[in-house]
Structure 1
Amino acid sequence: MFSLLTGCIGLVQASNSMHITVTKGFGVSIYASDLGDAKQIAVGDQGTIFVGSGKSGKVTALVNANQDGRVERRYTIAKNLKYPEAIAYQQGSLYVISDSRILQYRDIERRLRRPLRPKVVYDNLPEMDKRYTRVMHFGPDGRLYVSLGSPCNVCDSDAPFGSIIAINLRTGNTEQIASGIRSAKGFDWSPDDEHLWFVDSGRDWMGDNLPADEINRLDHKGQHFGFPYVHGKDVKEPAYKQPVNLSVKAPEYELPAHVEPVGMLFYRAKQLPKKYHNQLFIAENGSRHRSSKVGYQVVWLNIENNKVVSRNTLMSFLDGGFPVARPYSLAIGKDGAMYISDDLKGNIYRLFYKDPMPAQQQEVKHD
């Protein structure tokens, strides 16, 4: 079984254990494991947690019927798909991107054992002959929003690469909402005004501290966010000159370089304390091209009057400089807890709030 971590955890390292630090008053448990390179997660109406994957080509459903905080049953919804990392749930259906298609699995929570044959509801995404990132969510207007990363470190790629598009699944009509984006692996809408916020990962190979990763807000449709001409607020790209007539929207907030922000959500539930309500949470997947490790944590951004005023670590997966997990996607369960996918160890973590208690040393391990 898995043991539980609560409070500010001290250093624990064993042959089959992992050390995770959480803010005082919080607890975290391993909800499910052995999920491969777990990517985007989505939550069904009945609380089923769906998990997309990258290389493993599978979509998995996790069920915790007795609500004790640990999965009891799992089902393979699909397998042998082409990079089904992007998934979304709406009105009884699960939507999955596979290669250039968006598949709909209807009435999915009633048919976890034997899903219906999926329906292709859209088939005009770029094919995966070039590796690029995709994430999708349904917006407040009912359309399906899909972010399509650039298939390069830095390049002037053609649309729809490097953009966020909105798809009307009834008509098939597609609209480009934002462009000039390198890799937006997480986005959500503000509960206050329904403006779209998204993360963007900066380019590599400009050193340890350049350029900044970004938190962006879309103020109106069609804004350009700088890639590949400018990174962060003011780092010019030497390989590409910004067109004279191009207006660029600067980021709302600069994260440290190479923390690799991916999952993003505004917390709309009530299980966490009030100060976290409607605040912004980011999963920082962690550095690859840096001499020392940064990221590998879940942070919350305190937003006041539509401005980010502070960034605070809520949960860290760095154990003495060694990453024990790479948080990828965030979702809020029916119980109000936060569920976090890990594309390094293939785990899903459940982060929840308890009454504050003294710091203690515990470990997460399995028999």
Structure 2
Amino acid sequence: MGRRTMTKAQPAGGRRRLLLAAWVVILLTTAAALAQGADPASHLHRIRLPEGFAIQIYARVPGARSLAYAPDLALLFVGSRRDTVHVVMDRDGDGVGETVLPLAQGLRVPNGIAYGDGFLYVAENHRIVRFDLKDWTPGRLLEPEVVYDRLPRYDYHGWRYLALGPDGRLYVALGVPCNICTTEDPVGAIARLNRDGTGFEVYARGIRNSVGMDWHPATGELFFTDNGADMLGDDIPADELNHAPRPGLHFGFPYYAGGRTRSPQFPGPVPVARVSHPVVEFGAHTASLGIHFYRGAMFPDEYRHDAFVAQHGSWNRTEPIGYRVKRVRFNERGQPVGKEVFAEGWLLPDGTAWGRPVDVEELPDGSLLVSDDYAGLIYRITYAPGPGSSATNP
């Protein structure tokens, strides 16, 4: 399981050059951002939101990636691409997480996290583990209990995303270890398994690198993001929002590089009976990651069951794009009907960035949290209607 073939794949030297170029861009962007000011939070006033919305710093967490809130414990858990999972506590309930502590350390890329029934589940690069929180006390580091230890191990796109589905099973996305290449199950797929580690199976195939999953609150059907291939131009291929209402669907990769753009490495007939194309196409290289369907009551009624998508931002585009949160509008039948920018301003006018959104989570009061691994921040977005507003909440 996990062995991969590299038919018509990018050569090893090309992959190294691609990675080197990415790191050069990131280092240059970092230097520019640091030149703008030592504290990224000093740029918070640059964030633009629709009227009535406001943003503040919720917590400072190094390398903040995936978010999982435990309502029964009133705790926020934060994954990373380092070796640590953090826990954030808002002890006085004022909407600011004033206490940030490591929950577990020494892990291998604990990017994906999901909470359920007193356990925090963590997808490392090579396995899924869990932490029993029933007797946890602040400051105590927890040791992992292995749930599943047979995930294929590789570095390129090796940060896993994890979600707990309405069927009670864990869903894990396994990105491909390449730019464009063929793979074997479960690589290039979303797999699912029971929370005790049994019943591992592939749910969806033909996926390049998904870092966001959520289920529509009314239909219970899965939607997930996917990142298009690099190095094919500024404006192609598209990043994606996909709909997987049932298992067994194929979403086109590597025959499609993203959206409806065919991969130049695979120009012939597509050896798949039917390809499920994206239901929403985002801009190329926006790096669309975490997705969350809004379920709360703080925002105006029109936001209920719409999706928020965090766009991490481009590294290989002539003019940078992304670095924002998009809103995808859904109708009453659970179908996407439009998209628009919800929050932007992490990209500076000179083309450098001071922050990069990663994931979106919701607090019990209906406010939204957005993680930023670049600035090491978690933001909280709230809504309060102004005088004379006609907005209503249930």
Is TM-score (shorter-chain normalized) higher than 0.5?
yes
Residue from 285, 289, 294 that aligns with 2:316: 289
Alignment of 1:74-223 (within 5 A): 74-107=100-133, 110-128=136-154, 130-170=156-196, 172-223=198-249
Aligned residues: 344
Q: Is the 8 A contact 2:313 2:321 kept in 1?
A: yes
Describe the shift of the 1:21–1:66 C-alpha distance in structure 2 as closer, same or farther (beyond 3 A).
same
1:324 aligns with 2:351: no
Match of 1:364 in 2: none
Q: Is the 8 A contact 1:26 1:356 kept in 2?
A: no
Match of 1:31 in 2: 58
Match of 2:31 in 1: none
**Amino acid across the alignment from 2:216:** S
**Amino acid across the alignment from 2:279:** E
Q: Is the 8 A contact 1:232 1:250 kept in 2?
A: no
Q: Matches of 1:356 and 1:326 in 2, distance apart?
A: 29
1:237 aligns with 2:263: yes
Residue from 347, 352, 365 that aligns with 2:377: 347
Match of 1:313 in 2: 341
**Amino acid across the alignment from 2:325:** V
Match of 1:363 in 2: none
**Amino acid across the alignment from 2:367:** A
TM-score by length of 1: 0.89
Gaps of 5+ in 2: 1-35, 389-394
Describe the shift of the 1:14–1:134 C-alpha distance in structure 2 as closer, same or farther (beyond 3 A).
closer
Q: What percentage of residue pairs aligned between the two structures are identical?
A: 36
Q: Matches of 2:299 and 2:135 in 1, distance apart?
A: 27
Per-residue Cα deviation, 1:10-65 (whole angstroms, up to 9, x for no partner):
xxx867421222221111111111x22211111012221111110x3111100001
Q: Is the 8 A contact 1:133 1:183 kept in 2?
A: no
Query: Shift in Å at residue 216 of structure 1?
Result: 0.5
Q: Which runs of 4+ in 1 moved over 6 A?
A: none
Gaps of 5+ in 1: 1-12, 359-367
Q: Matches of 2:368 and 2:182 in 1, distance apart?
A: 37
Query: Shift in Å at residue 129 of structure 1?
Result: 5.0
Q: Is the 8 A contact 1:122 1:169 kept in 2?
A: no
Q: Matches of 1:107 and 1:15 in 2, distance apart?
A: 36
Supply the RMSD in Å over aligned alpha carbons: 1.9
236-245 vs 92-101, greater mean Cα deviation: 236-245
Describe the shift of the 1:64–1:264 C-alpha distance in structure 2 as closer, same or farther (beyond 3 A).
same
TM-score by length of 2: 0.83
Match of 1:334 in 2: 364
Per-residue Cα deviation, 1:82-120 (whole angstroms, up to 9, x for no partner):
101111111111111233221211125743322443211
Higher relative helix content: 2
17-26 vs 143-152, greater mean Cα deviation: 17-26
Q: Is the 8 A contact 1:188 1:264 kept in 2?
A: yes
Per-residue Cα deviation, 1:162-206 (whole angstroms, up to 9, x for no partner):
100111123611111100000110011111211100011100111
**Amino acid across the alignment from 1:307:** Q
Q: Is the 8 A contact 1:59 1:77 kept in 2?
A: yes
Query: Shift in Å at residue 263 of structure 1?
Result: 0.5
Q: Matches of 1:145 and 1:128 in 2, distance apart?
A: 19
Q: Matches of 1:105 and 1:235 in 2, distance apart?
A: 42
Match of 1:258 in 2: 285
Describe the shift of the 1:343–1:357 C-alpha distance in structure 2 as closer, same or farther (beyond 3 A).
farther
**Amino acid across the alignment from 1:284:** Q
**Amino acid across the alignment from 1:157:** T
94-103 vs 290-299, greater mean Cα deviation: 94-103
Secondary structure of the structure 1 residue equivalent to 2:302: helix
Match of 2:69 in 1: 43
Q: Matches of 2:133 and 2:38 in 1, distance apart?
A: 43
Q: Matches of 1:124 and 1:112 in 2, distance apart?
A: 31
Describe the shift of the 1:92–1:15 C-alpha distance in structure 2 as closer, same or farther (beyond 3 A).
closer
Describe the shift of the 1:346–1:72 C-alpha distance in structure 2 as closer, same or farther (beyond 3 A).
same
Q: Is the 8 A contact 2:166 2:220 kept in 1?
A: yes
Secondary structure of the structure 2 residue equivalent to 1:140: coil
